[in-house]
Structure 1
Amino acid sequence: MNITPGPLLGQIQYPADLRKVSKEQLHQVSEELRQYIIDVVSVHGGHFGASLGVVELTTALHYVFNTPYDQLVWDVGHQAYGHKILTGRRENFHTNRKYKGLSGFPKRDESPYDTFGVGHSSTSISAALGMAIASQQKGEFDRQHIAVIGDGAMTAGMAFEALNHAGVSNANLLIILNDNCMSIDPNVGALKEYLTDITTSHTYNKLRDDVWNLLGKLPVGKRFTREMASRLEAGFKGVVSSSSNLFESFKLRYFGPIDGHNIIKLVDTLQDLKDIPGPKLLHIVTTKGKGYALAEQDQTTWHAPGLFDKITGEIFKKPVTTPQPPKYQDVFGHTIIELAEQNESIMGITPAMPSGSSLKFMMEKMPHRAIDVGICEQHAVTLSAGLATQGMRVFCNIYSSFMQRAYDQVIHDVAIQKLPVVFCLDRAGLVGDDGPTHHGAYDVAFMRCIPNLVVSAPMNEEELRNLMYTAQLPANELPFVIRYPRGQGVMPEWRQPFKEIKIGTGRKIRDGKDIAILSLGHPGNFVTEACKELLADGLQPAHYDMRFVKPLDTAMLHEIFQNFSKVITVEDSSLPGGFGSAILEFMAMNGYHAEVKMLGIPDRIVEHGKPEELHRECGYDAPAIAAKVREMLKSKITVIA
């Protein structure tokens, strides 16, 4: 489908073209940019509400600042669609998040306007501060550095660490706090309450505006008037709002809050702030999903709705003719409630992903036993550890790639103390369109080297339920990792009675004599498909679902290496340090000699695409497994004339 931009947007390929437009035309540019995003995302998919909310800000930033010389850093990046369209990528924007197409996030090797690669939250202030300090070192004192961070991302400790440093620097840094009360789900915590306070403090904001308007008319230089304004504001703050000095307590010049959808006000304010040296923060208030009524009303659903009819708002779903397997995260969400009804000590913790992880079901039914801590993975882990010291059985649900941010806490606060926290790592393996920042490729490698941890992966929904059941039993006194992929499982009839799984035991799926295929987790289903194909060739592969990478089922492995000279391992994790490496370690340490081939995520960054496209590219889907077996057993294949 050919999507045509509006008349002004159609003339803008790069920010230099945008700067030729009069200030009075910027409202029309913004409306055309918003409509173009709606048109493309409704047909091709992608993140939605976040980019609509910053259309005016995006336009104003590229209009006022000399990008890419002036360096603009977007936090998280799912709000950067307008940025991509205005920076030379409009004609290719329909390939966004598609295999071999544009990334869904800013990416340094995609454009010089993408100054920093992002995907996880709360990195923008640190990155922009580093750029600003480097510019000082190089004598580039005219260069501007802008970090755009949402109020959800501002809750993470890393953002406050960066604020603490920025305030005592003299770096030329502008932090723009985009306050829309949302990340993916509604924001939580004291910072949300604080931002609400200063946003609604009418007396303070009127006083501030009056002071600025008065001083702006005095016949003295801008620098003098701004400094005087800041001094007067400092005096007003103690009288008017007891909480309005949080950012200035970090020694940041605070401005705002202002309407983030008033393009003229934004441009004028940013022009003023360009003349003020040093670190400063502009607080803007926006609406996520702005300009599309349904997205404004239901911001969680419309964060990334998939394909939809832009006129009616109908979100297209694939037609269902037979019972479908559930998503793994929904199995987790319903199973934890079943377990919690039987075990009063169970609690659920998630860092800002109650919808994505499906902990929302427990939060609705048992709100006092399920907690969203905001974008704070480190806190989530140590909070879980603290709860565990008091006898609580905590299911800490974190996306695999987000768990990377809490690795020290897993070791220091959980594993060393042998606290029985259950880590449910959602989105393990290759997640698809979100790409390398979200692929859960490394958790097997970085978890299995930690003492005292149990590390497991279910092949299907029933195994996920049974691993969750096993992990919370009183007999289990160790921290327990359960990793599972994004998306659908394989069992429409998944709600089976709970069964305990003996820790460190696998299961034989099928007997065979020619070759042994060992799988970990969901890719075991690819092996099952491959075995059906191989049987037609007259081959007899054996298939073992190992279930645990730590501890390994050593009895089963002894049996395998005593009976097979050819072995294939299959996993949806990184090959270096992963499940296959663990099997090779066992083989070497026990004096076995066999030909072993490992299939999984290779030692390189895997880009975005549909999971099935990436499985094929990485060589561990069913056809690739069958091909590898044939290659290893080519002398056994009977050629039929």
Structure 2
Amino acid sequence: MDITPGPLLQQINNPQDLKKLTKDQLLQVSEELRQYIIDVVSVHGGHFGASLGVVELSVALHYVFNTPYDQLVWDVGHQAYGHKILTGRRDNFYTNRKYNGLSGFPRRWESEYDSFGVGHSSTSISAALGMAIAAKYKGEDRKSVAIIGDGAMTAGLAFEGMNHAGVADADMLIILNDNCMSIDQNVGALREYLTDITASHTYNKFKDDIWNALGKLPVGKTFTREMASKLEHSIKGFINKSSNLFEALNLRYFGPIDGHNVTKLVDILQDLKKIPGPKLLHILTVKGKGYALAEKDQTKWHAPGLFDKITGEIYKKKFDLPQPPKYQDVFGHTIIELAEKNDKIFGITPAMPSGSSLKFMMEKMPDRALDVGICEQHAVTLSAGMATQGLRVFCNIYSSFMQRAYDQVVHDVAIQNLPVVFCLDRAGLVGEDGATHHGAYDIAYMRCIPNMIVSAPMNEAELRNLMYTAQLDSTEHPFVIRYPRGEGVMPDWKREMQEITIGTGRKLKDGTDIAILTLGHPGNFAAAAIRELRTEGITPAHYDMRFAKPLDEMLLHEVFKKFDKIITVEDGTVTGGFGSAVLEFMAAHGYTANVKILGIPDEVIEHGTPKELQKEAGYDTAAIIEAIRTLSKENVTITFNA
């Protein structure tokens, strides 16, 4: 489908072209840019509401600042579509999030205008401050700008960055994009604080009136700029104490202003360029601005998939037969079942109630399901504190986001041997979100921690069984349950839950040639491979190990005594993962076998559909078939698909 940008946008191949326009033309550019994002995303997919909310800001930033010499750091980055289109990627924007196409987030390898690669939240202030300090050290008149949302501002890293910025004497600007949203509605005291600032019409009008008056006074020996600045601070403290949070951190606070008034944004950004030191500009925007349905239901339209831009109909796949549910929904409904029978159960998620499906429990049991905002470290230690009081907490965090709370997992949970249940959503290759979101490392980084149980279900029934096992009083250790994004394999999934003996696997198929050891959902790829291979007379055995730690040593002794050709399959990194654990067992017990480890190689995997990436990584059904054929014919040594 041919999508043509508007007449002004067609002329903009880089920010230098944008600067050739008059300030009055920026309103039209903004409208054309917004429409182009709507046109492309409706047909090709991607994040939606976030970028619509910062169209005017994107235009104003590139109009005022000398990018890429001046450096813009977008927090998270799913709001950077306008930025990408204005910086030479307009004609390739349709490839956004597609295999071998543009990334859905800023990436340094993609453009010189992407000064910092992102995907996780709350990194922008620290990164931009680092750039500002480097510019000062090198004597460069380079501006650094961090663009951060109010949702990302709740994370501790953002406050650490601001705390340092206030004393670093570096020239940087923080733009706080306040739309009261992350993916779901923002929560916490900071939201209330920003609302207080926004609602303080008395303070903001009085401040403007004072500065207008000061601008008419002569600046001389009796009334200096320093005196004016002191008067400004006194006014802020007197009229509205809530303004003191940022000012107390030594950040000059400006705003709040309308983030959809592009000419006003240009004016204030030009003024702020001239003011040295750390500054914060508070702008108010609407997520999904310009598309009525996205403004009305901002969570739904964060990343809606393909849709009809006229009617707003979101296209859904149509199936003739019942389809399996998403693992996320199985978690969401199962935790309610468990909580109805066990009053010790709580659910906690850091800002992902919809994505993790904890929203179901939040609706039905609001006093026992908590969204703590974008605060993974807090979520883990909060869970630990609750566990000390006998509660059984299911802490649901995306696998890649759990990396942000690793110290808390070790220090606050594992060392104290607290039975927190970590449900690691989006484990494995997640697809179009790409490298920053892949859940590649959790098997490796969790199984090396003492006291930790690490498990992965092959299907929905096994997920329910593992959740049931994890909440039992007899389970006395921290318990990881990792599962992938998206659909499982069982339309008829709601079966009676059963306890699984921790550290036990199961033999699914007898065989005589080769043993396949799988962990988690990729066991279904192996099952499909075995069905095809048996038509060729190759009869592999299949073991669903279920636990990467503790391993089922009885089952492994059986395998190594019977087979000298073994393949392991996992949707985690091959370095230090489940396959590595099998090799460690083999070495510790003096076995010798030809072992091939299939999983995510020791390299950065970019974006694409899960099937495309599983094929690239070499652990899909076709890759398993090829590995078995090769191993059955040749004598090979221990190999990795890295």
Aligned to 2:638: none
C-alpha distance in structure 1 between counterparts of 2:539 and 2:224, whole Å: 83
- Kept in 2, the 8 Å contact 1:211–1:229? The answer is no
1:120-173 residue CA offsets vs partner (Å, 9 max, x unmatched): 000000000000000111110x21110000000000000000000000011010
Aligned to 2:150: 151
Aligned to 2:276: 277
Aligned to 2:326: 327
* Residue 573 (structure 1) shift: 0.1
Structure 1, gaps ≥5 residues long: 637-641
1:394-439 residue CA offsets vs partner (Å, 9 max, x unmatched): 0000000000000000011000111000000000000000000000
C-alpha distance in structure 1 between counterparts of 2:305 and 2:229, whole Å: 46
Aligned to 2:575: 576
C-alpha distance in structure 1 between counterparts of 2:541 and 2:408, whole Å: 39
C-alpha distance in structure 1 between counterparts of 2:213 and 2:88, whole Å: 41
Measured at CA, do residues 225 and 530 of structure 1 come closer, stay the same or move farther in structure 2, by a change above 3 Å?
A: farther
1:196 paired to 2:195:
yes
Q: What is the one-letter code of the residue matched to 1:188?
A: V
Aligned to 2:17: 17
Measured at CA, do residues 227 and 101 of structure 1 come closer, stay the same or move farther in structure 2, by a change above 3 Å?
A: farther
- Kept in 1, the 8 Å contact 2:392–2:420? The answer is yes
Q: What is the one-letter code of the residue matched to 1:381?
A: V
C-alpha distance in structure 2 between counterparts of 1:571 and 1:20, whole Å: 54
1:579-623 residue CA offsets vs partner (Å, 9 max, x unmatched): 000000000000000000000000000000000000001111001
- Kept in 1, the 8 Å contact 2:219–2:225? The answer is no
- Kept in 2, the 8 Å contact 1:215–1:225? The answer is no
Aligned to 1:536: 535
1:383-402 to 2 correspondences below 5 Å:
383-402=382-401
Q: What is the one-letter code of the residue matched to 1:186?
A: Q
- Kept in 1, the 8 Å contact 2:564–2:592? The answer is yes
- Kept in 2, the 8 Å contact 1:182–1:288? The answer is yes
Aligned to 2:364: 365
C-alpha distance in structure 2 between counterparts of 1:500 and 1:276, whole Å: 64
Measured at CA, do residues 356 and 37 of structure 1 come closer, stay the same or move farther in structure 2, by a change above 3 Å?
A: same
1:432-462 residue CA offsets vs partner (Å, 9 max, x unmatched): 0000000000000000000001000000000
1:558-597 to 2 correspondences below 5 Å:
558-597=557-596
SS in 2 for 1:420: coil
Q: What is the one-letter code of the residue matched to 1:466?
A: N
Aligned to 1:33: 33
C-alpha distance in structure 2 between counterparts of 1:351 and 1:592, whole Å: 44
Deviates more, 1:241-250 or 1:117-126: 241-250
C-alpha distance in structure 2 between counterparts of 1:8 and 1:191, whole Å: 39
1:71-106 residue CA offsets vs partner (Å, 9 max, x unmatched): 100000000000000000000000000000000000
C-alpha distance in structure 2 between counterparts of 1:220 and 1:292, whole Å: 48
* Residue 234 (structure 1) shift: 1.7
Identity percentage of aligned residues: 77
Structure 2, gaps ≥5 residues long: 636-642
Deviates more, 1:49-58 or 1:202-211: 202-211
1:25-83 residue CA offsets vs partner (Å, 9 max, x unmatched): 10000000000000000000000000000000000000000000001000000000000
C-alpha distance in structure 2 between counterparts of 1:2 and 1:231, whole Å: 57
C-alpha distance in structure 2 between counterparts of 1:226 and 1:634, whole Å: 84
C-alpha distance in structure 2 between counterparts of 1:39 and 1:285, whole Å: 25
* Residue 320 (structure 1) shift: 2.3
Aligned to 1:639: none
1:294-345 residue CA offsets vs partner (Å, 9 max, x unmatched): 0000000000000000000000001121100000000000000000000000
1:510-529 residue CA offsets vs partner (Å, 9 max, x unmatched): 00000000000000000000
Aligned to 1:165: 164
Aligned to 1:602: 601
1:240 paired to 2:239:
yes
* Residue 540 (structure 1) shift: 0.6
* Residue 226 (structure 1) shift: 6.8
* Residue 240 (structure 1) shift: 1.8
Q: What is the one-letter code of the residue matched to 1:537?
A: E
1:467-493 residue CA offsets vs partner (Å, 9 max, x unmatched): 000000010010100000000000000
Measured at CA, do residues 225 and 279 of structure 1 come closer, stay the same or move farther in structure 2, by a change above 3 Å?
A: farther
Aligned to 1:99: 99
Aligned to 1:136: 136
SS in 2 for 1:302: coil
SS in 1 for 2:624: helix
Aligned to 1:491: 490
* Residue 630 (structure 1) shift: 0.3
SS in 2 for 1:266: helix
C-alpha distance in structure 1 between counterparts of 2:217 and 2:5, whole Å: 44
Aligned to 1:300: 299
Aligned to 2:379: 380
> What is the TM-score of this pair, normalised by structure 2?
0.97
Aligned to 2:68: 68
C-alpha distance in structure 1 between counterparts of 2:292 and 2:314, whole Å: 14
> What is the TM-score of this pair, normalised by structure 1?
0.98
Task: Give runs of ≥4 in structure 1 deviating > 4 Å.
Answer: 217-221, 224-229
- Kept in 2, the 8 Å contact 1:395–1:424? The answer is yes
Q: What is the one-letter code of the residue matched to 1:182?
A: M
C-alpha distance in structure 1 between counterparts of 2:523 and 2:475, whole Å: 26
Q: What is the one-letter code of the residue matched to 1:282?
A: L
Q: What is the one-letter code of the residue matched to 2:614?
A: H
C-alpha distance in structure 2 between counterparts of 1:210 and 1:124, whole Å: 33
